[in-house]
Structure 1
Amino acid sequence: MDAGKQFFTALEALRGIAAIMVMFLHTGGTLGPIPANISYLAVDLFFLLSGVVLTNSYEKRLITGQISATGLLLQRIIRLYPLYLLSLPIGFFSYSLKNGLDYSTLADLLLRAILFIPSANQEGIFPFNGPSWSLFFELWAGVLFSVLLIRLSFRSLLAIALAAAGITIYGALVGGNFDIGPEAGDFRFGFSRVLFSFSLGICLYRLYEVQKPNIANNGNVIGLFLCACLIFITNIPARIFFGFPYFDFLICLVVFPAVVWLAMRTRQTGLVELVFRWLGMLSYPIYILHGPIFSLLQSLRQKGFDLPASPAAGMVVIVGIFIVAGIAAIHFDEPVRKKLKMMVAPNPPSAVPAVSSAGTE
């Protein structure tokens, strides 16, 4: 589907920026003290992007029977699981170093992590890799998309999005903001949180299909401006609107869809296009690997290792994560996914769109 190539470069850049902002949110003192900001909303942007991209890539194929709901789930697992499994040894070592070697507990948590079953652990529903909680809801949303959401009208999807937003706001009034879902106590609100933005993403792409807006001029400038806007938004201090989740709701309902809509109308060229594609390629490895790495550094500090915690030392770690993410993407993730796809479908149809389909990449 060539239409996807006209706008996915900008969306990949947004996803990359969002992953980087989440990474800075989880530094855990590695960069020294950093005031908390609202970059937790980057996850809601991931869900929105996932709705857009999955609709572009799979809606027509699901409706025409070119792919089944089971086939889509398998494609999603192939896309998300290799790097997730690669992160587990780091998280396992970090958790055992921090909490001791209770073999029965570790075995139970490891089995749950491999099977992607949420845990009631006090360190989060996925204690070996905290940020991976959103992947659970990504997979859940993909299943719901393939069996139900593709059959609903625009109005029905919008109604579902607003109803899910209402439930999310209810949870956020207790928690203080939209940063709910990764803990056992607010796990149930993760479903409404993903359904809110994911359904909006489906609506956004359907609106694009109906209107077919012209590609905007100055795509490079607009794309860079939208990335700068995302950086600015996610750096708003969390304390300003804590306890007033309607601000988060406004960002997710209006601002993020507007940013994505504008990005869908742009086309990048030259160096900007290259940088945007690299941001897209690195987004998922950065997102899924940074949590266990920072957690390991925290565990080592707690065990008495004298690891520096300063902006300079932290930036060395950040650069290291970028390098590891690039190596993992090129030399592990892509080859493994290619082999798995060949095992599942040795002769895939040529109509498969050559675009990313993971919201949290």
Structure 2
Amino acid sequence: MNTSRQFFTALEALRGIAAVMVIFRHTEGALGPLPASVSYLAVDLFFLLSGVVLANSYEKRLATGQISPAGFLLQRVIRLYPLYLLTLPIGLFSYALQNGLDCSTLAELLLKAILFIPSTNLESLFPFNGPSWSLFFELWAGALFSVLLVRLSLRSLLTIALGAAGITFYGALVEGNLDIGYQPTYFIFGFSRVLFSFSFGICLYRQYDIQKPNTANNGNIIGLLLCGCLIFITGISASTFFGFPYFDFLICLVVFPAIVWLAMRTRQTGMVELAFCWLGRLSYPIYILHAPIFSLLHSLRQKGFDLPASPAVGMVVVIAIFIVAGIVAIYVDEPVRKKLKMMVAPNPASAVSAVSNAGAN
């Protein structure tokens, strides 16, 4: 297995595009009556990309003992928690505004949110920040990766991925599509949903590492076309294939892996490379910040505040989220992660380098 870490710029862009498409699913009416799309599949792409990126960054180190499973999980917590915790006050205020709960109930929910314990007795697993359900399952998949998946053969991993896909497919048949796992009633299927895409991602990276395919020509054009394909796919109306989850599985089992495989074989240059890197840099801040902001605006409208809701105003909010995400990434998330990694790393110099190169991890 290759000891050097690759940096796949096109994967950064795909992650950023997926985060943007998720935004339009959670606008809470700020953009007007938008028809629901299959952008919920962007979460499956996140899981697939995580499998690729974490295998690229950590599999060799875990296999050789350079990092322990506990050390790996600490790195994941440092990567995901700072911005997640930053969103909790917004989510707490919004939730309290909507539901008018007493202080003791809110304190209990806040403690569960801080400890990342899902609320299976409520309408949302994580009522203060709905999309963070995927982080819970990604942390779970990372734990399994560090202690088990990293030790399995490619064939065993593929078997696990297909088995998990079969379990998830059963849930999708019941629900009508693959948009499951975030609801308490379908909570159990969240584990299989992340496992099949995450395991496929590890398989993709291992296959890439074995074959070491040549870099494709015209990387800028191919990368842009792949981003366009992702926008087109996740923009398809959810009603088109509702009740026919075979479409969702075709996308997750065939189309997304093909897009990621092609993206791994490209290299970008110039302004395209810069744009792709920024999309990756902003992807997580956008993903974790957008829902509490839209939820707060929705709560204020419900309480009688005369806040405009139109496509034009909604786009202003979306642009504002981009700006806030950039500011938070540069001045909050990255400095905090750098400081935390220096505090826990035995080699501070290597920790600084790891933070500067780990935007997508």
TM-score where L is the length of structure 1: 0.96
Could you tell me whether the CA contact under 8 Å between 2:12 and 2:360 is conserved in 1? no
Cα contact 1:164–1:196 (8 A) shared by 2? yes
In 1: Cα distance, 2:119 partner to 2:208 partner: 39
User: Is 1:345 matched up with 2:345?
Assistant: yes
Q: Secondary structure of the equivalent of 1:132?
A: helix
Deviations 1:3-46 (A, max 9, x none): 512xx210000000000000111111000011111000000000
1:241 Cα shift?
0.7
Counterpart residue number, 1:4? 6
Q: SS at the partner of 1:338?
A: helix
Measure the CA separation in 1 of the matches of 2:140 and 2:55.
15
Structure 1 counterpart of 2:138, which letter?
A: E
Change (3 A) 1:3 1:337: closer
Residue equivalent to 2:60: 60
Which position in structure 2 is the counterpart of 1:311? 311
Aligned residue for 1:31, secondary structure, equals: coil
Q: Which residue of 1 aligns with 2:168?
A: 168
Corresponding residue for 1:51?
A: 51
Counting aligned pairs with the same residue, the percent is 78
Instruction: Measure how far apart 1:308 and its partner are.
Output: 1.1
Give the Cα separation in 2 of the matches to 1:309 and 1:154: 50
Instruction: Give, as a single letter, the amino acid of the residue that structure 2 aligns with 1:4.
Output: Q
Q: Is the 8 A contact 1:53 1:357 kept in 2?
A: no
Matches of 2:122 and 2:329, distance apart in 1: 31
Q: Equivalents in 2 of 1:308, 1:262: separation in Å?
A: 42
In structure 2, C-alpha distance between the alignment counterparts of 1:205 and 1:246, rounded to whole Å: 25
Letter in 1 for 2:259: V
Distance 2:291 2:132 in 1: 9
Question: Could you tell me whether the CA contact under 8 Å between 1:141 and 1:195 is conserved in 2?
Answer: yes
- Where does residue 242 of structure 1 map in the other structure? 242
Unaligned 5+ runs, structure 2:
none
C-alpha distance 2-219 of structure 1, shift in aligned 2 (>3 A): farther
Structure 2: how far apart are the matches of 1:299 and 1:148?
43
Tell me the residue number matched to 2:144.
144
Shift of 1:105: 1.3
Partner of 1:191: 191
1:213 aligned residue: 213
Measure the CA separation in 1 of the matches of 2:294 and 2:52.
31
8 Å Cα contact 2:281/2:359 also seen in 1: no
Q: How does 1:112-123 map to 2 (within 5 A)?
A: 112-123=112-123
The 3-state SS of whatever aligns with 1:78 is helix
2:173/2:243 contact within 8 Å kept: yes
Q: Which has the higher contact order (CA 8 A, sep 6+)?
A: 1
Counterpart for residue 83 of structure 1: 83
| One-letter amino acid of the structure 1 residue matched with residue 26 of structure 2 | H
Amino acid at match of 1:224: L
Query: Which amino acid in 1 is paired with 2:144?
Result: L
Cα distance in 1 for residues equivalent to 2:195 and 2:25: 23
Residues 10, 263 of structure 1: 8 Å contact kept: yes
1:305 is matched by which residue type in structure 2?
Answer: F
Shift of 1:346: 4.7
**Residue correspondence of structure 1 range 24-39 to structure 2 within 5 A:** 24-39=24-39
Task: State the Cα deviation string for residues 96-119 of structure 1 (Å, max 9, x = none).
Answer: 000003112111110000000011
Greater shift in the superposed pair: 119-128 or 186-195? 119-128
CA distance in 2, matches of 1:238, 1:86: 32
Gap regions ≥5 residues in structure 1: none
Q: Quick one: distance in 2 between partners of 1:71 and 1:325?
A: 28
Instruction: Give 2:308's aligned amino acid.
Output: P
C-alpha displacement of 1:248:
0.5
Q: State the secondary structure of the residue aligned to 2:33.
A: coil
- 1:356 corresponding residue in structure 2: 358
Alpha carbons 1:165, 1:192 under 8 Å: kept: yes
Query: Normalising to structure 2: TM-score of the pair?
Result: 0.96
Relative to 1, partners in 2 of residues 1:276 and 1:358: Cα closer, same or farther, differing over 3 Å? closer
Match of 2:209, as an amino acid?
Answer: E
CA distance in 1, matches of 2:105, 2:181: 23
Q: How many residues align?
A: 357
RMSD: 1.4
Offset at residue 357 of structure 1 (A): 6.5
CA contact 1:54–1:357 (8 Å) conserved in 2: no
Deviation at 1:205, TM superposition (A): 0.3
